[in-house]
Amino acid sequence: MIDNITVQRIIDAARIEEVVSDFVSLKKKGANLWGCCPFHNEKTPSFSVSPSKGIFKCFGCGKAGNSVKFVMEHESLSYVEALRYLARKYHIEIKERELTAEELAVQSERESLFALNSYAKEYYCSMLHNHIDGKSIGLAYFRERGFRDDIIEKFQLGFSLNEKDAFVKNATTKGFNPEYLVKTGLAIEHENQPLIDRFRGRVMFPWISLSGKVLGFGGRVLDARTKGVDVKYMNSPESEIFVKRSELYGIYQAKQAIVKADCCYLVEGYTDVISMHQSGVENVVSSSGTSLTTGQIQLIKRFTNNIVILYDGDEAGIHASLRGIDLILAEGMNVKVLLFPDGDDPDSFARKNNANDFVDFINKNKTDFIQFKINLLMKEAEKDPIKRASLIKDIVQSIASIPDNITRSVYIRESSRMLETAEQIIASEVAKIKNKKSFEEKQQAVRDAYAEERKAAAEAAGIVMPNVKKQSEPTVPQIKLDRLAFNILRCLLRYGVRKMGVWEETKEDVYVAPFIIDQLERDNIKFQNVIFQKIFDEYCEKFGDLKDDNVIEKKEYDGPQLKDGEKEDEKFITYYKINKTSQEIEHYFLNHPDAEISTVSIALLTDKYEESNLWRRRDHESNRNEYEVILNEAKRVIFEYKIQLVEIAMKKLDDEMKKASEEKNSQREDELMLELMENQKTKTRLSKDLGDRVITP
């Protein structure tokens, strides 16, 4: 286990913008950084990173947290695993006590699978460099390909002995669970037979995730004793930690180069990637012989919007991969295509050229996808009108995939010229496809909504649908009450230590936190939301008595120049930095060990939109005062909440009166009427309190 002091050191050292930038391309906008969310598919960035608060938040899917939470969510790690990852990144030494047998027993299965894969990588590397077969077969193959030692090390290449169960025996001797050997695909299980190695007699290519974890392996057969028996290339089967359609070979080694070049080269095989790295071209990844998927494209999109697909001269392979171009276009990305000269592929071409020559060749010869596709398909169509019509439909389908209207119109015009077909005809066909797609999406949305209604109706009748948890449906007043409670906590966390002003009657200073706490405690009010109440209780315990008077640093608004005779206070509005105490409060709740409290706190302390300079100047010209803003907000959230509680109570009394009336219970009616009148008086008093005057400085 990691001690609390080390945990705090890790959290303090982990800069959220640096952690997220390892996985997402971010651009500065205002005080925050923005990018496309890595947790859901989106074309317009709604994923915000706040360096000042040390948090991220997606305003699309709602995921939020600090650096530890981001690594946990992105890499599907436990809390402790994420801390270890960040400790390695920031070179923080972790001294852990030995886990008990019970603690070892509850470690996650995913952690065990990753640990086994990591061990397998080290084992295969050791066999490559230290075993006689590894050196004479595996290392000899890599030397033949011209791979340098530093490149072999960079990609952690290895060798699996051509023995039935060499790795299985080694791993089980080290204490690894045979069940996990099968789940990772490192071993094959036959009924009533001992486990055997999957990758016998192969050089090994580890698949490494963005964070550096070993997901699975690819193996190429080399040993003459197995050639012709097994397939040439074999990959790990899909598992809980390896979903091949969502991963790209080489992404871990390429991610920084992709961001720097703002472009990603996409190739087919392992050796294509490795040879290009050796030549100095590092912004390259591979789909490893499988058809390109939306998940893989979205992985690239985190770092760049520009893709260049590198093909060799194999026309069958090119035709098979054309569908991938349409998927790239549908994601709103820019795609170019390059065809190597006959007899060359990225691997062989990289071995003949250095980085500058390679990149120069790509830049001079890459082709727009429309031109490439038309030239490729026109060879088949020639003068056959039927094939030509089919070609036009194929091009139209690709253009219809483009989400941006302007880009789509440019491609319509260009394809019209190249295909010698009226632009209006192509535009009309594109519109038909898009309208059909839009209709199908609406129909699916209707079906989904209908399915949800059926589930809701079934639950209301007490029938639990499969895989659906039964829970009580909140009423509209309860939903409103939660929303108002949220506003109270937001005011408390943001402005708790700030002065609201001075009560006119007593001339005493009024601070936000004591005001809110007193107002809730005097009426013994508890939030119905458990997490809201936990946050409130912890605030009262740790920060309830803090005040912030005359220790706030002032920051002058950069407004228009003063005229002669004007006083500074008359022309400039004073703005404030959050002082040290407020920062401590934010840090405490944003990095709270309770994940639910941390997530809610991020929502309380985060805004989707930032105030612009123009809006601040408008505030200045209208003489808005920050004390007045805080005062109005604090009073409003408290008294609106109390009024809502009274209205709920009055509604309940009204329902009981109707019931008493139906039962002809006049005595009960009179009692309820008196209670109702008292509640009405309370509501009137609260409304008056909401309007009570406070003198602002």
Residue 318 vs residue 122, higher pLDDT: 122
pLDDT per position as a tens digit, 257-286? 998 889 999 998 899 999 999 999 999 999
Q: Is 170 exposed, middle or buried (0-12, 13-18, 19+ CB in 10 A)?
A: middle
CA separation (Å) from 73 to 34, 273, 365? 18, 28, 41
The pLDDT score that the predictor gives to residue 253 is 93
The pLDDT score that the predictor gives to residue 445 is 66
Strand bridging mode 554-556 / 509-511: unpaired
The pLDDT score that the predictor gives to residue 469 is 39
**Has residue 575 got a pLDDT over 80?**
no
Strand bridging mode 284-286 / 264-267: parallel
**Has residue 105 got a pLDDT over 90?**
no
Q: Which two tokens stand for residue 510?
A: 């009024």
The pLDDT score that the predictor gives to residue 565 is 52
Q: Are 159 and 204 in contact (CB under 8 A)?
A: yes
The pLDDT score that the predictor gives to residue 559 is 42
Q: Are 128 and 51 in contact (CB under 8 A)?
A: no
Pick from 397, 480, 487: which is nearest to 436 by CA? 397
The pLDDT score that the predictor gives to residue 627 is 59
pLDDT, mean of residues 390-400? 85
Q: Are 376 and 313 in contact (CB under 8 A)?
A: no
Q: Of the ranges 308-312, 553-557, 625-629, which one carries the lowest mean pLDDT score?
A: 553-557
**Has residue 1 got a pLDDT over 70?**
no
Q: Where does residue 453 fall: left (phi above 0), alpha (psi -120 to 50 degrees), or beta otherwise?
A: alpha
Rounded to whole angstroms, the Cα distance separating 268 from 291 reads 10
What DSSP character marks residue 462? T
> Phi and psi for 267 in degrees, rounded to 5?
-120, -175
pLDDT per position as a tens digit, 43-58? 788 899 988 788 899 8
Torsion angle (degrees, nearest 10) of CA 239, 243, 247, 253: -10
The pLDDT score that the predictor gives to residue 664 is 84
**pLDDT band at 289; cut points 50, 70, 90:** low
Share of the chain above pLDDT 90, in %: 21
Coil, strand or helix: which one is 235? Answer: strand
Pick from 232, 234, 231, 271: which is nearest to 250 by CA? 271
**pLDDT band at 590; cut points 50, 70, 90:** confident
pLDDT, mean of residues 300-318? 80
Domain ranges for the chain: 4-105, 111-242, 255-431, 476-644
pLDDT per position as a tens digit, 469-528? 334 455 667 778 888 888 899 888 888 888 777 766 667 777 888 888 888 888 888 998
pLDDT, mean of residues 674-680? 86
pLDDT, mean of residues 443-459? 59
**Has residue 419 got a pLDDT over 70?**
yes
Strand bridging mode 64-65 / 367-368: unpaired
To the nearest whole number, what is the mean pLDDT of the chain?
80
- Superfamily of domain covering 111-242: DNA primase, catalytic core, N-terminal domain (3.90.980.10)
What letter represents residue 387's amino acid?
Answer: K
Q: Are 207 and 217 in contact (CB under 8 A)?
A: yes
The pLDDT score that the predictor gives to residue 577 is 38
**Has residue 12 got a pLDDT over 50?**
yes
pLDDT per position as a tens digit, 142-162? 999 899 999 999 999 999 999
Q: Which residue has the tokens 């193959």?
A: 141
Instruction: Give domain 255-431's CATH architecture.
Output: 3-Layer(aba) Sandwich (3.40)
Q: Of the ranges 235-239, 428-432, 450-454, 605-609, which one carries the lowest mean pLDDT score?
A: 450-454
Share of the chain above pLDDT 70, in %: 80
pLDDT per position as a tens digit, 205-254? 999 988 788 999 999 988 554 444 457 888 999 998 898 888 999 999 99
The reported pTM is: 0.63
Q: Which two tokens stand for residue 687?
A: 């409304």
Q: How far is CA 80 from the centre of its chain?
A: 20
CATH 3.90.580.10 fits 4-105, yes or no: yes
**pLDDT band at 116; cut points 50, 70, 90:** very high
**Has residue 37 got a pLDDT over 80?**
yes
Residue 626 vs residue 664, higher pLDDT: 664
- Other CB atoms within 10 Å distance of the CB of residue 32: 20
**pLDDT band at 553; cut points 50, 70, 90:** very low
The pLDDT score that the predictor gives to residue 73 is 85
The pLDDT score that the predictor gives to residue 468 is 37
Rounded to whole angstroms, the Cα distance separating 643 from 684 reads 9
pLDDT per position as a tens digit, 348-363? 888 888 889 988 999 8
Residues in Cβ contact with 178 at an 8 Å cutoff, skipping those fewer than 6 apart:
168, 172, 187, 195
Alpha helices (H) along 246-368: 251-261, 270-279, 294-301, 315-330, 346-352, 355-365
pLDDT, mean of residues 19-35? 87
- Other CB atoms within 10 Å distance of the CB of residue 129: 16
Q: Are 329 and 370 in contact (CB under 8 A)?
A: no
